[in-house]
Amino acid sequence: LVQNMNDSRSIPTATSFRELAVSLLEHRRRELNNALRAAGRTEKVSFTHLIGYAISKAAGLHPAMTTSYLEVNGAPHRIPGGPVHLGIAVDVERKDGSRGLVVPVIRDAQSKSFAEFHATYEALVEKARGNKLMPDAFAGATMTLTNPGGLGTSASVPRLMPGQGCIIAVGAIHYPAAFADLSDDRLRELGIAKVMNVTSTYDHRVIQGAESGEFLRAVDDFLQGGERFYEDVFTSLGLV
């Protein structure tokens, strides 16, 4: 861990921020889980499942985000992006009570259906928390997703590891701070909706701000229902 953090300091990064409305995301996730329960199934769909899937699809459309930097004999090389091998940051509590972070990889995430993505994600997380993953499960990530929002963090600029193009951080889903003290009825009356910050921290040697911004816009478009995103999720899970 220390070596990785020290190595990350050598990467000249920049970060793009985007605030997303999440009303539709919340609504469709609720519908998905209600449909799964009605079908007598035990699966549950989390916000991270849907966001991670949207990120994978968006990165598939914007391969610049999986571009990486490599020095060969002292000369800089830009390694073109391609398959989305998505690292998933998993918080793990050790037997002594201390906490650590492991990052297993969903390979070719952009080519998976949502059902395949969901099953792979769940299997990796279960094995990670049971300390049952082999070393190759952590190798080869071209980008990483971390979700500090689950702990209430509103936005984050995480460290980028060598060999990866970008790391995406998802913040907490909440009402804008200026309206946090209002009642639910007053919020509805004013039309105030919950939002979520997503950041893209990227290697600025090989990825430019415009590319990062276009990628985040694509993530937003999917989560707002573009390209039949949720219809494809329902179909993939056999709920239509």
Which amino acid type is present at position 131? N
Single-letter residue type at 166: C
DSSP state string for 22-83: -HHHHHHHHHHHHHHHHTT------HHHHHHHHHHHHHHH-GGGG-EEEEETTEEEEE---S
Residues in a beta bridge with 90:
102
Cα gap 23→41, rounded to integer Å:
25
Catalytic, out of 27, 85, 174, 204: 204
Residue 62 designated active-site: no
* Residue 158 structure tokens: 């995480």
First and final C-alpha spacing in the chain = 45
Catalytic positions: 204
